[in-house]
Structure 1
Amino acid sequence: MAFYAYLLRCSDGSYYAGHTDNLEQRVEQHQSGALGGYTATRRPVGLVWSEWFQTRDDAFLAEQRIKGWSRAKKEALIAGDWERVQMLARNRQEGGLCD
């Protein structure tokens, strides 16, 4: 079975990170407001990033890690700019203000 971590862009420009074993269904649930919570009042939402994982635990850990990231780092992830993701991680570890 496949598990996914994902990132949605909400109508207010914010991002929502989650994980699931059925990505298409989960995005539809967010889109319809069926799940309530954060995304229900920020529709429409759009899937901007997802990654496949072998276990639910791995997908959940990715979700939790991404939730702690700055907006800039999330946008670098969405763009596939791994150099910027790494640079922002280094800046944060060094106490920089770029993150």
Structure 2
Amino acid sequence: MITRFLTDVRVTFNPFSPRSKPARLFLSLIPPNARLDGMLIDSKMLPRSSKEPASLTVKFKDGKEMHMDLDKMRITDVMAEVDRHSRQLARKEELSGN
């Protein structure tokens, strides 16, 4: 997963719910030094009895914000969405000569 272009990650999930697996896996895919590189990571764990669905919000360097309802998505779908926009940003950066 391309995390170089991410600036802000917000995750809300119930760690005991099987439907929160994509949220947990997404957090595990973020490199350990991401916060040192300037990425803001905000994770909110819900109580065991909560019925609120897992959600993920990702903000990119170009200002685009993606809101994903993880209740209906698998981790491969989430990674594909994030990588699609990251590849577009990488292509723009490469073409501009930076």
TM-score w.r.t. the length of structure 1 is: 0.31
Larger relative helix fraction? 1
Larger relative strand fraction? 2
TM-score w.r.t. the length of structure 2 is: 0.31
